Amino acid sequence: MKRSPTLIAGLAILGVWIVAALLGRHLTPQDPYADDLLHTLTPPSAAHWFGTDQLGRDVFSRVIVGARDILIVTPLATLLGVVAGTILGLFTGYLRGAFDAVAGRIIEAMQAVPLVIVALLALAAVGTSNLTVILVIGLVFMPLIARTVRTAVLAEADLDYVAAAQLRGDGPLRIMFAEILPNVLPLVLVEATVRFGYAIFFVASLSFLGFGIQPPSPDWGLAVAENYSLIGSYWWVVMFDVLATASLVLGVNLTADGLQTVFER
């Protein structure tokens, strides 16, 4: 495997946040949930590296623990979308016909509206919890991944190894999963890392809007939503959550880009 500096940098950033998410409370100097009404909105200092928020809670501790929920929700949502989308893409791309046409139209209808709005609509209807966020994001990702996989499957199905498998008497399921899938798998993996980045984008945005991760989680998007009206005087109550989100996104992206270069060879 080719060494890729972007991959290494990406994995390093991602690793830091995964450790934060796994160890959480064990890493924080203070209780992220403890109010201290005597020391509200204090600027960064030796006692509070990132300062304190409106309730006097330690921002540094909250940023560390805030990594947890988003790193539970986004990988599961991505996984759901990738698995379901890959299967749908294989079926629509290989079988074509009426099923493909109907699925294609429904996918197009879903894509006529931005994902954030589809998610808002769905979450307004079914209610917001970590589980519904996972399901909704997974489901809105499914058609996008299906479309990418379908395009690749269409190209593969035109290759004569598929014809040869048909002449050997292989059934459609066997051809889809044993012949074609291994050849589109690298693409699926790259797509999964790219989608993971977008999952973070969406979950953070939804949390900011109040339709994602719910209080009392110290989630970053949620923290920004709660505090951004204070931005004029107390920048630290949002800035560190903003930087944390940005760094996570950057880490995922560098990883995706690195993987892409490695696969391309």
Partner 1 sequence: MSAALAFQGVDVSYRAGGEDRRVLRDLNLSIAPGEAYGLVGESGCGKSTAAFAAVRYLARNGRVSRGQILIDGQDVATLSARELRHLRSHKVAMVYQDPSRALNPSLRIGRQMAEVFEVSEGLTGRPALERAQDMLARVQIASPERVMSAYPHELSGGMQQRVVIAMALSINPALLILDEPTTALDATVEAEIVALIAELRREFSTALLFISHNLNLIARTCERVGVLYAGELVEQGATEAVIREPRHPYTAGLLRSIPRPGLRKATARLETIPGFPPRTGAEVTGCIFADRCPIATDRCRAEAPPMADLGGRLSRCHYPDQAMQIAPRPSGEREGPTQWEGEGAASEASLSSSHYPAESPPHPPATPSPSPRRGEGSKPLLKVENLSKVFLGDGKSLHAVNDISIDLHTGETLGIVGESGSGKSTLARLIVGLIPPTEGAISLDDEQLAAKATQRLSSQLNKLQMIFQNPGAALNRSQTIRRIVGRSVKEDRLRALAHDVRLADTVLNQKPRQLSGGMQQRVAIARAFAGEPQIVICDEPTSALDVSVQAAILNLLADLQEQRGVSYLFISHDLNVVHYLADRIAVLYLGRLVEIGPTEAIFSGPRHPYTEALLSAADPNRARLKGDPPSATNPPSGCVFQTRCPRKLGRICEEREPELIDAGSGHAIRCHIPAGDL
Partner 2 sequence: MWLYVGTMPVSGAILKFLLKRAALSLVTLWLLSLLIFAAGQLLPGDVGRAVLGPLADARAVAAFNHSIGADRPVPAQYWDWIGRFATGDMGTSYVFRSSVGPFVGDALGNSLKLAALAFVIVLPLGIAGGVIAALNAGRWGDRSIVILGQTLGVVPEFISGIVLILVFGVWLRWLPMSADWPDGAGPLTQLRYLILPSLPLAVSFFGYIARVVRVGTVEALDADYTRTAVLKGLPWLTVLRRHVLRNALLPTITVAASLVGYLAGGLVVVETLFHYRGIGSLVYDAAKAKDFPMLEAGVLTVGALFAAASLIADLMNALLNPRLRPR
Per CB under 8 A, residues contacting partner 1 are 159-161, 163-169, 171-172, 179, 182-183
Q: Which CB atom, from 169 or from 216, has the smaller least distance to partner 1?
A: 169
**Look-up of token digits 């109010």:** 35
C-alpha distance from residue 4 to each of 13, 191, 250 (Å): 15, 18, 16
Residues 6+ apart with CB under 8 A from 66: 217, 218, 219, 220, 223, 241, 244
Q: Which CB atom, from 81 or from 162, has the smaller least distance to partner 2?
A: 81
Pick one of partner 1, partner 2, none as the site partner of residue 224 (Cβ within 5 to 8 A by kind): partner 2
Pick one of 15, 108, 155, 174: the residue that binds partner 2 (CB under 8 A): 108
DSSP 8-state class, residue 175:
I
Residues between 4 and 63 that touch partner 2 (CB under 8 A) = 6
Q: Count of CB atoms within 10 A of residue 71's CB? A: 19
Distance of closest approach, residue 52 Cβ to partner 2, in angstroms: 19
Residue 182 exposed, middle or buried by CB count within 10 Å (0-12, 13-18, 19+): exposed
| Residue 250 found at the interface with partner 2 (CB under 8 A) | yes
Distance of closest approach, residue 235 Cβ to partner 2, in angstroms: 6
What is the Cα 245 distance to its own chain's centre?
A: 12
The SS3 assignment for 58 reads strand
The SS3 assignment for 35 reads coil
Instruction: Give the total of residues touching partner 2 (CB under 8 A).
Output: 50
The SS3 assignment for 52 reads strand
Pick one of partner 2, partner 1, none as the site partner of residue 246 (Cβ within 5 to 8 A by kind): partner 2
Distance of closest approach, residue 188 Cβ to partner 1, in angstroms: 13
Q: Which CB atom, from 59 or from 115, has the smaller least distance to partner 2?
A: 115
| Residue 122 found at the interface with partner 2 (CB under 8 A) | yes
Pick one of partner 1, partner 2, none as the site partner of residue 25 (Cβ within 5 to 8 A by kind): none
For the chain, what's the residue count? 265
Task: Give me the torsion for CA of 62, 64, 69, 72, rounded to 10°.
Answer: -170
| Residue 155 found at the interface with partner 2 (CB under 8 A) | no
Which residues of the chain form contacts with partner 2 (CB under 8 A)?
Answer: 6, 105-106, 108-117, 120-127, 197-198, 200-201, 204-205, 208-211, 221, 224-225, 228, 231-232, 235, 238-239, 242, 245-246, 249-250, 252-254, 256-257
